[in-house]
Amino acid sequence: MRPGQPLGAAHKLAPEATFLTADPSAYRAAFEAALEALAAFTPALEGEADPAAPAFGRAILGIEGLDRLWGDEATLTARARAAVASLLPTEPRAGIGDTRFGAAVAAALATRDAPLVAILPGGAAEEAAFLAPLPIGLLPAPELEQRFALFGLRRMGELAALPRSAVVARFGSLGGELHDLARGLDGRPLRPRRPIERLRADAELNPPVESRDALRFVLHHLAGALCAQLAARGAGAAKAILELELERGAPLRIEQVLPEPVALPELVERLLVARLEATVLPAPATRLALELDGTAPQAGTQLGLFTPQSAGADRLAWQLAGLAIRFGPGRIWRVELRDPEAPLTEGRVAWTAAGEGTT
């Protein structure tokens, strides 16, 4: 049987089968619930909830940088499968690969007895070796499968062994794309269900923590995990928010605007630690949370405490942010030229507090 087959034809093929009336609304609701559960692991989640779509029932997760939060790839996958198991009518299967195509094929090969198939790390060469003995029908273009067969191409490795130019000449641009996939090359980006506006991670502190060094240790761990996720997407944090739940009293919130979008944990950590050291903790902390705004493209690579090795204006911005934290809010200001021809001085320039942030 195959999808879209008339009921009469399917019944002839399997007269002993029980056929159920389709319930697209229930299918959509079940998979949307599963996607919501998976979103707890990472916002880098792609999934199609429309039962009529070819990709329905498949979820793709970007798991780069998640090992600090959830464990290694196998552990993370096991946790993700457990999170959706009760929401789906069948046991979920999973695949791990360097590309979305490789991971999808690995998941298709998984079984009830072996629900996880992982391609060994090693880039395109390792993925191509994994795909080589598999049927060419696993490529996402069934309309070309028969044409491939006419040329004696039945395995992905046979297609990958041909010159790409020859494949394009015979099968067009689609043939070239399939040739890339068979060689372990898949440049299609992950398309999150929702725009990734922020990343958040938290840690329970038991017993409660009062030491600044202990808080910095936890902050270092969370900043590294979140920045790794940002870096994997070429994004940078434009703002960092540190929240502390206290043993007594209201939570403490430190919000720090960053001079430029970055995905370097040491810079985020040091700015927040400087703010934290200038803040009085009325009680020990029971939970620490870090949130990064990750919507902006990442700036160039930076080094140093408050002086990244980028353009002069960017270095000055980080220096001013450090000075503003050191000497207090409202002490360090930046002037920006607006309209040099304005008749009044206040119209020519604008003043902005450096390292603006709120506690």
- Residue 334 tokens read as 């930046």
**Averaged pLDDT score across all residues of the chain:** 85
Mean pLDDT, residues 327-342 taken together: 69
Tell me the per-residue pLDDT of 183-204, one tens digit each, with 9 for 90 and over: 999 988 888 887 667 888 899 9
255 vs 309, which has greater pLDDT? 255
For 32-182, the fitting CATH number among 3.90.226.10, 3.30.450.20, 1.10.150.20, 3.40.50.11750 is 1.10.150.20
pLDDT for residue 151: 93
C-alpha dihedral sign at 31, 33, 35, 37 = negative
pLDDT for residue 311: 45
The DSSP H or E segment spanning 45 is strand 45-47
For 198-358, the fitting CATH number among 3.30.1490.100, 3.40.50.10790, 3.30.1300.10, 1.20.120.80 is 3.30.1490.100
Residues 6+ apart with CB under 8 A from 326: 274
Inter-CA distances, 320 with 223, 253, 268, 314, Å: 22, 22, 15, 10
- Residue pair 115/68 in contact by the 8 Å Cβ criterion: no
Hey, where are the domains in the chain?
A: 32-182, 198-358
- Residue pair 69/225 in contact by the 8 Å Cβ criterion: yes
Instruction: Give dist(CA 94, CA 154) in Å, integer.
Output: 25
pLDDT for residue 326: 58
